[in-house]
Amino acid sequence: MAVVPTSYKAAHFRPPPPPAHPRFARQDRPGRFRDPGLSVRRKRRKRFTLFVLSRFLTESRRLRTQEGTFSGKRSDPGGYMSIRNIAIIAHVDHGKTTLVDQLLRQSGTFRENQQVADRVMDSNDLERERGITILAKPTSVDWIDEAGVHTRINIIDTPGHADFGGEVERILSMVDGVVLLVDAAEGPLPQTKFVTSKALALGLKPIVLINKVDRSDARPDEVHIEAFDLFAALGATDEQLDFPCIFASARQGWAAEDLNAADAKDNGLKVLFSKIISHFPEPAALHDGSGSEPFAMLVTTIEADPYLGRILMGKIEKGTVKTSTPVQVLRMEGGVVEKGRITKVLAFRGIQRIAVEEASAGDIVAIAGLVQGTVADTICDASVSEPLKALPIDPPTLSITVSINDSPLAGREGSKVQSRVIRDRLMREAESNVAIRVSDSEGGDAFEVAGRGELQLGVLIETMRRDGFELGISRPRVLYREDDNGKRLEPVEEATIDVDDEYSGVVIEKMAARKGEMIDMRPTGAGKTRIVFHCPSRGLIGYHGEFLTDTRGTGVMNRIFHAYEPYRGEIDGRRNGVLISTGDGEAVPYGLWYIEERGTLFIAPGEKVYRGMIIGENARPDDMDVNPLKAKQLTNIRTTSKDEAVRLTPPRPLTLEQAIAYIEHDELVEVTPKSIRLRKRWLDPNDRKKYARAG
Highest mean pLDDT pick, 208-212, 482-486, 656-660:
208-212
pLDDT-above-90 percentage for the chain: 26
Q: How confident is the model at residue 15 (pLDDT cuts 50, 70, 90)?
A: low
Q: Which residues contact 316 (CB under 8 A, 6 or more apart)?
A: 285, 295, 296, 297, 359, 360, 361, 362, 363, 364, 365
pLDDT tens sequence across 46-99: 777 777 676 666 555 554 444 333 333 333 333 457 889 999 988 877 888 888
pLDDT-above-70 percentage for the chain: 85
User: What's residue 64's pLDDT?
Assistant: 47
User: What's residue 59's pLDDT?
Assistant: 59
Q: How confident is the model at residue 127 (pLDDT cuts 50, 70, 90)?
A: low
Q: How far, CA to CA in Å, does 298 sit from each of 177, 314, 526?
A: 18, 6, 48
Helix pair angle (419-432, 454-466), 10° resolution: 130
pTM: 0.77
Amino acid at 175: V
User: What's residue 120's pLDDT?
Assistant: 55
pLDDT tens sequence across 501-541: 898 999 999 999 899 999 989 887 778 888 999 999 888 88
User: What's residue 71's pLDDT?
Assistant: 34
Q: Which residues contact 346 (CB under 8 A, 6 or more apart)?
A: 311, 353, 354, 355, 356, 365, 366, 367, 368
Tell me which of 21-25, 102-106, 219-223, 595-599 is least confident: 21-25
pLDDT tens sequence across 235-255: 888 999 999 999 999 888 899
User: What's residue 27's pLDDT?
Assistant: 47
End-to-end CA distance of the chain: 103
Estimate to the nearest angstrom the gap between the alpha carbon of 25 and the chain centroid.
Answer: 69
Tell me which of 105-119, 387-401, 524-538, 550-564 is least confident: 105-119
345-371: string of b/e by CB count within 10 Å (b at 16+)? Answer: bbbbbbbebeebeebbbbbbbbbbbbe
Q: Which residues contact 65 (CB under 8 A, 6 or more apart)?
A: 71
User: What's residue 21's pLDDT?
Assistant: 52
Parallel, antiparallel, or unpaired: how do β-strands 254-256 and 578-581 relate? unpaired
Q: Name the average pLDDT for the chain.
A: 82
497 vs 504: CA distance, rounded Å: 9
User: What's residue 173's pLDDT?
Assistant: 83
User: What's residue 61's pLDDT?
Assistant: 52
- Has residue 35 got a pLDDT over 60? no
Q: How confident is the model at residue 464 (pLDDT cuts 50, 70, 90)?
A: very high
